[in-house]
Amino acid sequence: MTYYLDGSNICFWRDKNNFSLVILLNICNELKKNGHDFICFFDANAVYLPKDNNEITVIKELLKDKQKYKTSPAGMKADDFILLSADKSKASIISNDRYKDYISQFKWLEPGNTPTRLIKGMVNAENDGEYLMIPTLKINSLIESNILTLFNKFNSITNKQTNFNNQQKNQNTMATEFKPTGVKVPKVFHQLGILVLDGSGSMTEKGPSNTTKANHVSSAVIELFNRVCSQTKVNFLLDSVS
C-alpha cells in the first residue's frame, strides 16, 4: 500500500518550533520495513528549514528523488497537492493536519468518516527514550535520533527491496523469454501389455471352426490391437513373447 506523507507537518511532530527530518525518516523506515510504499510532499521552503548541517545534507539528498519527495511551487502550500494526489488515488495521508479549509472540496476529510484516510501520530517520551506512535498502522517503535544512522538504515532497506524486486523481475523475464525449443517430451506409457503366446506345435491343431489354434490366436490379437488403437493408442505399449 502507498501512503502519502505530509512532510512539512510530520517534521514538526517532535517539536512544533523546530523542523526535523528525524520523525519523517523513522516513519519512512517503518513503512518500508512493513512492505509499504510512500510519497512525501513538502512546502517549497522545506530545504531551508533544517538547522542541523547533517539534516541539510540529508534533505538535499532526499529531494533528488523526485518520484518519492516532492516540493510545492513557491507561493503554494503542499496541502493543495497532497490532497489532490491522495483524492485521485484514494490513498491515506499521514499527517496531524485536519485540513479544515479543504473539507468542502474533499468530503472524505469530514470528521467521523470511516474508514478514516487521515492517519495521525505522535512522539511519546518515556523513560527509555522517545517512541513513534501511529495507532492506525500499529506502529509503536523506539525513535532513532541520529539522522545519518537513520538515512543509512533507510537506504539499506530500500536497496534490499530494490534488489529483491529486480531478482523477481529477472526470474519472471527468464521464465517468459527463455523457453526451451525443440525439446520432445518423452512418451509416457500408462498401460503396458505383454501378450504371452503359445508357440508350440500344438498350435497347428484345428479348433472348433476347423481353423488352427494359431489362427484363432492371431485373430484375437488383431482384434485387441484394433480396440486399443481406436481409443488412445499413445497410452499403451503392447509386446508379445512366445
Specify the CATH number of the domain 2-164: 3.40.50.11980
- Neighbouring C-alpha atoms within 13 Å toward the C-beta of 73: 1
Per-residue pLDDT, 190: 56
Whether the CB-CB separation of 224 and 198 falls below 8 Å is answered with no
Q: How many residues does this entry show for the chain?
A: 242
pLDDT attached to residue 134: 96
Position 12 scores a pLDDT of: 96
At CB < 8 A and 24+ separation, what contacts does 119-124 make?
A: 119/3, 119/92, 119/93, 119/94, 119/95, 120/94, 120/95, 120/96, 121/13, 121/27, 121/94, 121/96, 122/13, 122/96, 123/13, 123/14, 123/23
For 5-39, b where at least 16 C-beta lie within 10 A, e where not — what string?
A: bbbbbbbebbeeeebbbbbbbbbbbbbbeeeeebb
Q: What confidence score (pLDDT) does residue 115 get?
A: 84
pLDDT of amino acid 100: 94
pLDDT attached to residue 140: 95
184-220 per-residue burial string, b: 16 or more CB within 10 A, e: under 16: eeeeeeeeeeeeeeeeeeebeeeeeeeeeebeebeee
Boundaries of every domain in the chain: 2-164, 191-241
> Cα 57–58–62 angle (5° rounding)?
120
Tens of each residue's pLDDT in the chain, 242 residues:
999 999 999 999 999 999 999 999 999 999 998 999 999 999 999 999 998 899 999 999 999 999 999 999 999 999 999 999 999 999 999 999 999 999 999 999 998 888 889 999 999 999 999 999 999 999 999 999 898 888 888 777 655 544 444 555 555 555 555 555 555 555 555 566 777 777 777 778 776 667 787 777 777 777 777 666 655 555 666 666 66
Contact present, 133 and 143 (Cβ < 8 Å): no
Name residue, grid cell 495521525: 120
d(CA 165, CA 159): 10
pTM as predicted: 0.64
